[in-house]
Amino acid sequence: MKNVILILIAIIVLIAPSSAQINLSKPFEDCNIKGSITIYDLKEKKWISSDIIDSNSPTLPASTFKIINTLIALETNVVSGEEQIIKWPGSTDTIKYGYRPDIYHDMSMREAFKQSAGWAYVEMAKVIGKEQYRKYLKASHYGNVDLSVADDDFWNFGNFAISPVNQIEILRGVYEETLPFKKNSFKILKEMMIETKTKAYTIRAKTGWTRDDGKDTGWWIGYVERKDNVYFFATRLLKDRTDINTNFDKCRKEITVKILKELHIL
């Protein structure tokens, strides 16, 4: 409730005549998809959302969890750095994660993050253990910390959940390095998160997509660093798996980029 009130106040302050004409829902309608985008302007300390209720509704984080998962893996010394090799266990069961034959081989942590190789992070999770996860997730105020599912891949299956607003709070903790992790861990993570780098801005981000409980949940979260400001964003798309939308994957980024451009952030 507190987050809802804060966002309501912030949106009222943020929407000025110059931005009032922007229809934040239209990009979602153009993609024929339900969802929301949540943005936080660090300099102005202001929030904006296309759907306030959705911004505060928690769901599985899917592969966006790799952001804090990377920090936890480094902090617990399960991996020593981004170039450490994670051994492919050799399982032929690729159905659970989707059939992507290009990712099923030994790879570095950097490649696992960039390629969003779920199996690699599951292998690390087996070593980290849920007790350690609970410790760091509680200390970081990440999601509902419900790790009760009998699966090491609890970020893709089960009742673990985080809202778009909470995603941005975590991203801000990454940017400001206020989460309970070492400086070198932040350095490694931030480098791996870079998706776009221009003279005007840098985008550090991570996608996510899970297909649990008959639903597709797709994310793109991150932040835009400019010389004068930082803007955090969390876009989430939701649909029933029975509803066919072949653009679901690319719409995560297309919607986000379109709105960020309309707001003159990009």
Is residue 163 annotated as a catalytic residue, yes or no? no
First to last CA, the chain: 31
Q: Write down the catalytic residue from 49, 63, 140, 185.
A: 63
Cβ contact 86:120 at 8 Å: yes
Query: How far is residue 143 CA from its own chain's centroid?
Result: 12
β-pairing verdict for 34-41 and 46-49: antiparallel
Please tell me the distance from the alpha carbon of residue 126 to that of residue 7, in angstroms, as a whole number: 37
Annotated catalytic sites, by residue?
A: 63
